[in-house]
Amino acid sequence: MFTALYGSYALSLLAVLMGVAAVLAFVLPKLAWRRRSTRTLARFWLRAVGLHVHVSGLDSLPAESCVVVANHSSYLDGVLLKAMLPPRFGFVVKREAASTPVLGLLLRRIGAEFVDRHSARGRQRAARQVMKRAAEGHALVFFPEGTFDAQPGLKRFKIGAFVAATRGNAPVVPTVIHGARRALPGEAKVPRPGRLHVEVLQPIGGHGESPEALRDASRAMILARLDEPDLGPVPARAAEVA
């Protein structure tokens, strides 16, 4: 009974706050204001549903352009990083999210970049756009695994985030999300109250390293801090784009 009531409360509140965030994102004239309001509402929802988040390492974030890469294990991951990272960060998300009612509008208005994972031409076009943003000095967030499922573990990383970083001469900031899989597993509909931890690690790169070297180093750093198994080798094909 409690689980059903809590689930109804958590999802209803999420729907209401997402609607409010979309309205604010539609009417606020400045991107910085839209990102800040969405961040505030994301933080409020996490606290309201009993998800207590500890963040460490925020002082490691460079003040200039950078690329954050994080493990991906739950639908909570995007909400967590939106709530905990500075508002200046834009997110790189799958193209399908753009057509989702309300969410698609919100993501577009807060400056998300959309990547088509199913079309080679679409991936190349999206990669060029993301690399342009990085070269212009934008701070970006990627989930380089590209997707998640119920199986615990760190999947192989696609190369797109690291190509964007090298083209923009921006450091990569590996980031570890702890506890999101337990709080909202892939097959679950509602979160479980509990504690989460976002761990921002030391930046790497920004000095001419290859995308492959940045990918390998970032993945190794995240895997070393993540209490989950390694689900596969780093891919050798540099043509893959997140």
Domain parsing of the chain, residue ranges: 2-225
Half-sphere exposure of residue 51: CA atoms within 13 angstroms, side-chain side: 28
Tell me: the pLDDT tens digits for 80-139?
Answer: 999 999 999 999 888 777 778 889 899 999 998 887 666 666 556 656 666 676 666 678
Q: Using CA atoms, how far apart are residues 151 and 73, in angstroms rounded to an integer?
A: 9
Q: Using CA atoms, how far apart are residues 127 and 155, in angstroms rounded to an integer?
A: 21
Element (H, E) at 114: strand 113-115
Element (H, E) at 218: helix 211-225
| Predicted local distance difference test score (pLDDT) of residue 226 | 94
Q: Using CA atoms, how far apart are residues 164 and 144, in angstroms rounded to an integer?
A: 12
| Predicted local distance difference test score (pLDDT) of residue 128 | 67
Tell me: the pLDDT tens digits for 137-148?
Answer: 678 999 999 888
CA 202 to chain centroid, in Å, comes to 17
What is the 3 state secondary structure string of 37-65? HHHHHHHHHHHHCCEEEEEECHHHCCCCC
For residues 148 and 164, the answer to whether their CB atoms sit within 8 Å is no
Beta partners for 51? 194
pLDDT of 237 higher than 50: no
pLDDT of 239 higher than 50: no
pTM: 0.88
Q: Using CA atoms, how far apart are residues 92 and 129, in angstroms rounded to an integer?
A: 11
As given in the structure block, the two tokens for residue 42 are 């994301």
Fold of 2-225: Glycerol-3-phosphate (1)-acyltransferase (3.40.1130)
Q: Helices 31-48 and 76-84 sit at what angle, rounded to 10 degrees?
A: 120
As given in the structure block, the two tokens for residue 172 are 């990569």
Lowest-confidence pick of 107-121, 159-173, 187-201:
107-121
Tell me: the pLDDT tens digits for 4-28?
Answer: 788 889 999 999 999 999 999 999 9
Tokens 């910085």 — which residue?
32
